[in-house]
Chain A
Amino acid sequence: MPDEILNEKFSLKVIYLLAKMDHMSEEVLSSFYSIAGFKPGIQSWISFISKLVLSLGLLFTVTGVIFFFAYNWSELHKFAKLSIVGGAILASTIIALFSELNKFHAKLSLLAVAVFTGSLLAVFGQIYQTGANAYDLFLNWAILITGIVLISNFKPLWFLWLTLINTAIILFAGQILWRWIDPFVFISLFIVNTIALIIYEYFSYRKNPKFDSRWLPRIIGFAIIFSMTVAGIVGIITEFEDYGHAICLLLALGSYVTAFFFYSRKVYDLSSIAVSCVCIIAMVFTVILKARNFDTASIFFIGGFIIVGLTITSAFILIKINKAWKTQI
């Protein structure tokens, strides 16, 4: 048995395993628990409460400002409206300017600046009725906050920026090209999100500590795999009337293969592989539905077997990958 296994992180899973040992005492387990850092000290408590309360404060304040303008009261002069949002941007910027950027409150201030920038654009459009399309707002918003996003190294800000770009693309396709639900919109989103994911995973693979967190690439990965699967399934059902759906299906299959390869061999992350498994189950099920010409009774009977069978296979593959990864470390 390799000694390297002891270099694995001392996670809660290790505690759960040790608890299963015969003659394990509560004192020994408690001491492991404390030494591993699971028992928060006074410093951790203060830091946690400070972060929680600041995040809630920002959430409430920003929502309050948005509700304030949603009220759209006519008594307030247009300059007053602009000044309120401008003041909020200024206040948040001052806090960020006079703080170290790696501090949590500075990052939250930058997030507030980014959100208030959107409010300012919305209020401006509301007052002057510029006639711009909604996609203009989201695109300009994304462009204006790009600098803040780049300097912040704050994942929620990157998430906001990517959401804005995605929304702008969807609205552009709908409002300008009149193609709301179109495979090429899905493909455009696929390209944007894949580029973002590749950049993130490149730095993550090179062990850059700034790219250590996994929630952002997971969400992007889910979005890519899920959207391509939906478009591919639509293609199967409509018998690929639009060739764009065939491209989506190919991209979906490519995403599954890439997810399996990359997340089992390069960066260990079972979540994207698990999502791929669920999407493959959905895809196979759709193919069978189509092949059986939607014959109800047989679909229910065969479908049940297929779903359970594929679920067992998926679980087997995921456990195999998990084990293979563990023996590698």
Chain B
Amino acid sequence: MKPTKTILDVFNESNLAKDEYKSYSSFLKSHLLSVDSETNVPWFVKIITIFGACVGSLLFLGFLLISHLLSSEESMIITGSVFVLSGIAVTYANKRNYLSDSLSLSLSILGQVLLGIGIGAKAIEFNTVCYAGLVVETLIYLFAQSYTHKFLSVILIPACLLGIIWNSPIFEATHFLIGGLAVASVLIWTNELPLQIRLNKLPCFFVPTAYGLVLGLLLTLVLSINSKFFVVYINHWYITSLISFFSLSFLLYKSLCQSLGISKKTFWLVLTIIAILFAPTVHAPGIISSVLIIILGFTRSNRILLTLGIVFLATFIISFYYSLQQTLLTKSLMLMLTGVLFLGIGFAFGHLKKKVAMQ
């Protein structure tokens, strides 16, 4: 998981021709030191940018509302649109200097909130706000030249879709939205390398989309924790669980059968064991989906995905046992039995590991 080899080691082991070695190493030398390369920006900077932009824009919003500078719906819509467009424009003006990312993101967030309030007040219907949100987020996703803008849009697009679904008689379409996010997450990460190469002229697309989809999936699944809290009563959570299970099966097929060449028989055995293990949690789709993200993180050697998966898995497991309509005694016995079962499987794998190592 943690990289152990240096760039030099990898190049040496790749048996590169002299000119290939020269071109790759000179490219890396120039880009690894370059401050204007987005890849070189530590993720803490992006977190701080998002944090600062959110707090800053909310304060500006508070000022605009308190000072009654924007009193009519029309003025809110117009100012909101101007702010959103300015936010996008700043990303173009500072393509190579993302220090102003915080400013452009503040403008964008402020504009989006103003647009939401303005359209909401004018149209009254929540659906209209969601449709407008969908259009605005899609535009930001397509045109903004910044990781953070696109990342937030990828998370907000499913949120708008969710709003539209909830204002329609087909609540159950939520399962297909979440399922779609699970499928998209698997597809985008399993095609990481070809997509990165194909999108090399559009460097701001892959990373925010891939991470945004995963976070969007996990955040949307929080709805499955407690329906009473979210007022919307969604049934048949097994549909989401099934879609996540099929996505997991596809991921395992690609990783175990295609990459490692294990037999179909072993693959089906693995799937059967997973199905049996997770059958009791079929109404808590967050559990199988978090496992999907953990496996995705492992297969892509991506620690951010792995950490996200583990954090959400813990949350979903706790909520699952909390929401069980059983006495503490029954819950404790169930937990202990599951624990012993997992420990047994763990020790079996320990022996298998020894066997494989000896071979």
A: residues with CB less than 8 A from B are: 1-3, 5-22, 24-26, 29-33, 35-43, 45-54, 56-68, 70-71, 73, 105, 270-271, 273-274, 277-278, 281, 296-297, 299-301, 303-305, 307-308, 310-312, 314-316, 318-319, 322-323, 326-327
Contacts and interface: CB of A to CB of B under 8 A. Distances in A.
A60 B338 contact: yes
B332 A71 contact: yes
Contacts of B57: 304
B7 A304 contact: no
B331 A67 contact: yes
A35 B10 contact: yes
The residue in B26, B301, B329 that gathers the most chain A C-beta atoms within 10 A of its C-beta is B301
Contacts of A59: 314, 317, 339
5 contacts: A17-B27, A30-B193, A300-B60, A301-B63, A315-B45
Nearest to B200: A20
A326 B39 contact: no
B316 to A, nearest CB: 12
B25 to A, nearest CB: 6
Nearest to A21: B27
A12 B337 CA distance: 39
Given A71-B327, A300-B63, A311-B102, A10 B7 contact: yes
Contacts of A310: 52
Contact of A316 (B99, B327, B332): B99
Given A6-B8, A24-B200, A56-B342, A303 B35 contact: no
Nearest to A303: B59
A5 B29 contact: yes
Contact of A57 (B48, B59, B343): B343
Nearest to A8: B7
A303 B344 CA distance: 57
Interface stretch (B80-88, B170-178, B230-238, B346-354): B346-354
Contacts of A18: 24, 27-28
B311 interface: no
B193 A33 contact: yes
A7 B25 CA distance: 11
Interface in B4-28: 4-11, 13-14, 23-28
A297 B334 CA distance: 56
Contact of A319 (B24, B59, B99): B99
A210 to B, nearest CB: 15
Contacts of A281: 52
Contacts of B103: 308, 312
Contact of B197 (A26, A51, A68, A70): A26
A60 B24 CA distance: 48
Interface stretch (B70-78, B128-136, B292-300): B292-300
Nearest to B67: A297
A26 B41 CA distance: 25
Given A71-B327, A307-B56, A322-B42, A57 B346 contact: yes
A326 B13 CA distance: 24
Given A50-B346, A59-B339, A64 B100 contact: no
A64 B342 CA distance: 13
Nearest to A310: B52
Contacts of B10: 10, 32, 35-36
Closest CB pairs A-B (n = 7): A311-B52, A61-B339, A60-B339, A57-B342, A64-B335, A64-B336, A54-B346
B259 interface: yes
Given A32-B14, A67-B328, A68-B332, A322 B40 contact: yes
Contacts of A62: 339
Interface of B: 3-11, 13-14, 23-33, 35, 37, 39-42, 44-45, 47-49, 51-53, 55-57, 59-60, 62-63, 66-67, 98-103, 106, 193-194, 196-197, 200, 203, 207, 255-256, 259-260, 262, 294, 298-302, 314, 317, 321, 327-329, 331-347, 349-350, 352-353, 356-357
Nearest to B301: A38
Given A66-B332, A274-B47, 17 more contacts: A10-B3, A38-B301, A39-B301, A40-B299, A40-B301, A51-B346, A57-B340, A57-B346, A64-B333, A64-B339, A67-B329, A297-B63, A303-B59, A310-B52, A311-B56, A312-B103, A315-B102
B293 to A, nearest CB: 13
Given A1-B33, A67-B332, A312-B102, A37 B63 contact: no
Nearest to A7: B6
B39 A16 contact: yes
Contact of A63 (B27, B299, B335, B347): B335
B63 A9 contact: no
Contacts of A105: 346-347, 350
B4 A37 contact: yes
B52 A308 contact: yes
A305 B63 CA distance: 11
Contact of A314 (B29, B52, B197, B337): B52
A55 B271 CA distance: 21
A300 B332 CA distance: 50
Contacts of B26: 1
B308 to A, nearest CB: 15
Given A5-B28, A57-B340, A315-B99, A42 B356 contact: yes
